[in-house]
Each structure stands twice: as structure tokens, then as C-alpha cells.
Structure 1
Amino acid sequence: MRGSIRHRPLTWFFSLTFLLSWTAWVPYALSENGLGLWHFTFPGGAGGSQLLGVLPGAYLGPITSALLVTGITEGRAGLRAWRSRMTKFRVNWRWYAVVLVAVPAALTLAVVALGDRAPQMPSAMILAAFLPGLLLQMITTGLAEEPGWREFAMPRLQDRFGPLAATVIVGPLWGLWHLPLFLTEWGGYPDVTGTAVLKFVVTAIAFSFVMTWVFNRSGGSMPLVMLLHCGVNNYFSIAAADMFPWLSRESASNASLLALLTAALILLATTRGRLGCPPAPHTDTLPARTA
């Protein structure tokens, strides 16, 4: 098995990620928070039950698989390098400012464009909770998902296939990884539709292009990539309902798709598909002289 993992690290990473997460999500999907086949309700209301039901599977999947495969294929040196990339906070402060401002601004514009209604000023309580909520999202969603999808899988695929093809591979897999959660309240069950699932996967693909660009342009700063991911989640978890009291689940989904798809298309056009990845070094060779 060790030889197989060393030979096909990406195949093992994706397989273990799906297997571990989907297995851990079975109780949540079967409970009263999902299909109702198991007569048990996860405590804590909608937020608490999702933390107790979703988070274990999220942690058991991408981050655990990445650590396991890295340890087997690269040993302690690989794990130390992995840790150094995960703690690469030292990037230009403008990157943090751009992410913190651009994410809520883009999502607000998207909601306004779709709903044709001006936003309300968020209350002082929402403003006070926004940054703590973002920090919580970084520890939960960001730390659970991005060390696997963006830190482990993306660079390896990008080295082999280039940034465009790598993102086309990671994006759909990342979106489909969430499939069992659509059988729970997390995904809107029992009112969820196939269209909603498809829209989520397309949004994940578009978001992946944006995150690839940020990852490459920041020199592989995982904290910045996690901040970008969690910024979208935090906006809809904390601020959106207060700014747009009329906002429905479907409207929020449409706004995410619009904002992220627009950003992805702009980046693809302006970078000509390179997404911030520097061109591969090459050397020109002169033909050998003949006598």
C-alpha cells in the first residue's frame, strides 16, 4: 500500500478524502437533521448541529488525507514543508486588505444586481460579530478543507498539467465532495433540487479559479486562500441576512454564482489562463555545429 501511495499520491488523496468524509457524514445524513431514518437530532440548532454533523467529516477528509499521503510520500521533511506553507502569513498587507474588502463588496453588488434593492446598513452587533465569525470560519471550514484541496492537490496538479487544467480537475471534485450534505439541512433538504446541486458545483468551479489566482499571486499563502474562502461563507452566515432581510437561500446561491463566475471570467481573460502562475522556465539550445 505504501508503494501504491508513493506512486499515485493524488489518486490516494482524492479517494481517501471522499471515503473518510462521506463515511463520517452518514450519521448526519441519516439523522433527523437529514433523511430522518435515524431518530436522533444533533443538538445546538441549525448552527450547532452543522458543526457537530459536518465538521467531523470535513476534518477527516481533506486535511487528514493530505497529512497521511504527505507523511508517507515525503516523510518528516515533507510535513515540515507542509507546515511552513500553512503558516505563510507574511505576504504584502495589501493582499489581506483586498480580500477583506473585495469579497463583501463583490457579493453585495451581486445581491443588489439580482434583487434590485439597496442594502440596509448592518447593525452594530453584526459589525462586531463579523471578524470573530471570520476567525471561527478560518478554524473550521478553512482549516478543514483548504490544506487538502488547495495546498496538497492544486500545486501537484498545476506542476503536471498547468493552472487551467489543474483548476478544472480540483473544482468539480471539491464541489462533488459536498454531495452527501445535500441530504441534510446544510444543503436545504428536503427542498433541495438537482438544479441547486448543479449550481453549487458550478459555483465551486468558478471559485476555484479565483483561489488558484490568489494562491499563485501570493506565492502560495494558504492563510490568504483560507481567508478568501471563509470570507464568502462568513458574509452569508453573518452579514447578508441583516443587510438584505428579503434574501432567500436561492437568492444567496444565485448571488454567489454571479459574483464568483464574473470574477473567474475576468481573471481567465486578463491572465490568458495562467491565473498568476509564472511560465515554466525553459532553455533555448543552439544546434550543434557540424564540421
Structure 2
Amino acid sequence: MTPEPARTWVRRHPLAVFFGLAYLFSWSCWIPILVSGGTVRPGVGWPTDLPGLAGPLLAAVVTTAVVDGRPGLAAFWRGVFRWRIGWWWLTVPVVLAAGAIGMLATGAPVSAAGLSEYPGVPADLGPVLTVVVVFVFNGLGEEAGWRGFAAQRMLRDRSLTETALLIALAWIPWHLPLFFIMSTFRGFSPGALVGWSLGLVSGSIVLAWLFRGSRGSVLLVAAWHTAYNFTSATPAASGVPAAVTSTLVMVAAAVILIREWSIRRRVVPAALRRGSPS
């Protein structure tokens, strides 16, 4: 395929290209760890899965460059760093984090220092720098792609529910190599795997809702993603805090789906009535 036909094909199938590149970039970082027998552990800086988490961001940049050129890239980066949203949206990640940390302070068996023990990040960075690193790689690295590119395009002609579920279908298997290289994933039982998948689908729904409601703020969804990971996937949040956080996200996703179904149930018949002959 010559360069111009290849560029034309990419422009016709940007989402397929994006998802393919996201897998390529991420797995090319994770599979060598698997082949070498390495294990990514909380609080240990090497080997690390962090560069692979930025695969969706790199995929979005490459696909946008081919499809939309420099103007498209400029618009993409503006969207990534957009923060012109209502300040009340900040309560979402803040309450999520504060709620779990509050539980730690009132009886959880692990101290808040456990927040520094994040997979692939050296514990001696301390809690603040750990949050910054995770926000850049895990938050922006993923959300600039899954939401900033994929959801941005899919929401143009798909419902929020369809968008969230389609992204989740790609997002779940994207994690596959991590189940072989991360110590926190290796011990998953079949039941835990089902629960993790349900939590990810629920997170996809909540993130799509946040992204749409905030007029496309990648910073907001990256903050939510980062807060959720710290309050559900670190030693500090193990046990009750993680269970409560995950349950709240699943409940929120159910509420969003019910609301979207209710709105669609009212809107579609109304549109049909307007379009019917008199």
C-alpha cells in the first residue's frame, strides 16, 4: 500500500487505527517484560509498566496527525488541557479520593503511606510525586486516548451508552499482558476477574458521562481515573476502601444508564412524532 492510499484508509477508519496502535504501543512495552520474566510490583520502580500506559495517548497523536494534520493536532492538545468547566465537576474526583482516605483515617488497617506503593513507581518518591507520575502516565496517558480521541469521535453519532460499552470492549483485553507481569493482577481468581471487568465497564460509563458533561475535559477524566486507581488499587486502599469505591462506581454507572435510557425513551418517540406526516 503506497503512502497516499494508506493515509486515505486511515482517514476512513480512524477509530480502528487508533485502537490498533494503542495495543501496539502498549504491548510493545509490556511483552518484553513478560518475555524476560520480570514482575511489576507496588513501590518498585523497575521493571515498570508505566510507559505502556501512555500507549493510547501516543496512538491518538499519531492517528490525529495522519487524519487531521497540524490543525487537528493543535485542536487535540487544546482538548487534552481544556479546563473550562464548571467547578462543581471537581467534586467528583475530590470526593472519591477524600472518601477513601477518610476511611483509612478511621480504621483501615493500612496507613495512608501505602498510597506511595503504586505498581511500577519507586516508593521513595513519596505520595505527592507518586500521584504526579501516575496522573501523567495512568491518567493522561490513557484518557487522552480512550476519551480524548475515541469517545470524542464516537459521541458525535453514538449514544453515551454505546460509546462507553464499545470502548470498554477494547479497553478490557488491552490490559491482557498486565495479568502476566503485574504481581497485583497475577493472583486474580475467576470471580475477581469478573468483578474487575464489571468495574472497568462501570468506569467506562462514568468516564464517558464525565467527559461529555464537562464538554470534553481530558484533565477532569484523567483526575477521576487517577483518584479511582489510588482508592481501589493501592495497598492503602485494600479491603474495605477499595470495595466501597468500586461499589460506588458501579452504582453510579447504573444510575447513569437508567437516566440515559429514560431520556432516550422520551426523546426518540418525540422525534418520530415530529417526523410523521400530518
Pairwise same-fold verdict (TM > 0.5):
yes
* Residue equivalent to 2:132: 135
Give distance in 2, aligned partners of 1:30 and 1:232. 30
* Residue equivalent to 1:73: 67
Q: Does 1:2 pair with 2:3?
A: no
User: Where does 1:214-233 land on structure 2 (aligned, <5 Å)?
Assistant: 214-233=210-229
* Residue equivalent to 2:174: 177
Once the two structures are superposed, residues 79-126 of structure 1 have per-residue CA deviations (whole angstroms, 9 ceiling, x without a partner) of 0110111111232222213421234427977x9xxxxx9547966997
Question: Retained in 2: the 8 A contact 1:137–1:234?
Answer: no
* Residue equivalent to 2:21: 16
Given the alignment, which residue of 51, 55, 63 partners 1:56? 51
Once the two structures are superposed, residues 4-45 of structure 1 have per-residue CA deviations (whole angstroms, 9 ceiling, x without a partner) of 1111111111111112211221121233434xxxxxxx7xx6
Question: Retained in 2: the 8 A contact 1:200–1:253?
Answer: no
Question: Retained in 2: the 8 A contact 1:203–1:261?
Answer: yes
Give distance in 2, aligned partners of 1:49 and 1:132. 13
Give distance in 1, aligned partners of 2:110 and 2:70. 50
Q: Does 1:272 pair with 2:275?
A: no
Give distance in 2, aligned partners of 1:229 and 1:99. 8
Give the TM-score, by structure 1 length: 0.75
Q: Partner amino acid for 1:161?
A: R
* Residue equivalent to 1:86: 80
* Residue equivalent to 1:31: 36
Given the alignment, which residue of 86, 97, 101 partners 2:95? 101
SS in 2 for 1:223: helix
Give distance in 2, aligned partners of 1:168 and 1:202. 11
Name the CA shift for 1:10/1:234 in 2 (closer, same or farther; >3 Å).
same
Give distance in 1, aligned partners of 2:101 and 2:175. 22
In structure 1, runs of 5+ residues without a counterpart are 35-41, 112-116
Q: Does 1:167 pair with 2:164?
A: yes
Give distance in 2, aligned partners of 1:48 and 1:124. 15
- Higher mean C-alpha displacement, 266-275 vs 94-103: 266-275
Deviation, 1:213, is 1.2
Deviation, 1:219, is 1.0
SS in 1 for 2:157: helix
Once the two structures are superposed, residues 31-70 of structure 1 have per-residue CA deviations (whole angstroms, 9 ceiling, x without a partner) of 3434xxxxxxx7xx643346x53122222x2111111111
Name the CA shift for 1:3/1:220 in 2 (closer, same or farther; >3 Å).
same
Once the two structures are superposed, residues 155-185 of structure 1 have per-residue CA deviations (whole angstroms, 9 ceiling, x without a partner) of 2122222111111100132122111100023
Question: Retained in 2: the 8 A contact 1:164–1:274?
Answer: no
Question: How many residues matched?
Answer: 258
Question: Retained in 2: the 8 A contact 1:5–1:69?
Answer: yes
Give distance in 2, aligned partners of 1:11 and 1:184. 27
Deviation, 1:255, is 4.2
Q: Partner amino acid for 2:175?
A: H
* RMSD, matched Cα: 3.5
- Higher mean C-alpha displacement, 256-265 vs 163-172: 256-265
In structure 2, runs of 5+ residues without a counterpart are 1-5, 117-125
Question: Retained in 2: the 8 A contact 1:66–1:148?
Answer: yes
Name the CA shift for 1:188/1:208 in 2 (closer, same or farther; >3 Å).
closer
Give distance in 1, aligned partners of 2:137 and 2:262. 31
Given the alignment, which residue of 196, 200, 213 partners 1:204? 200
Question: Retained in 1: the 8 A contact 2:161–2:260?
Answer: no
Once the two structures are superposed, residues 240-279 of structure 1 have per-residue CA deviations (whole angstroms, 9 ceiling, x without a partner) of 62xx7xx45xx6764453221111112222343669xx99
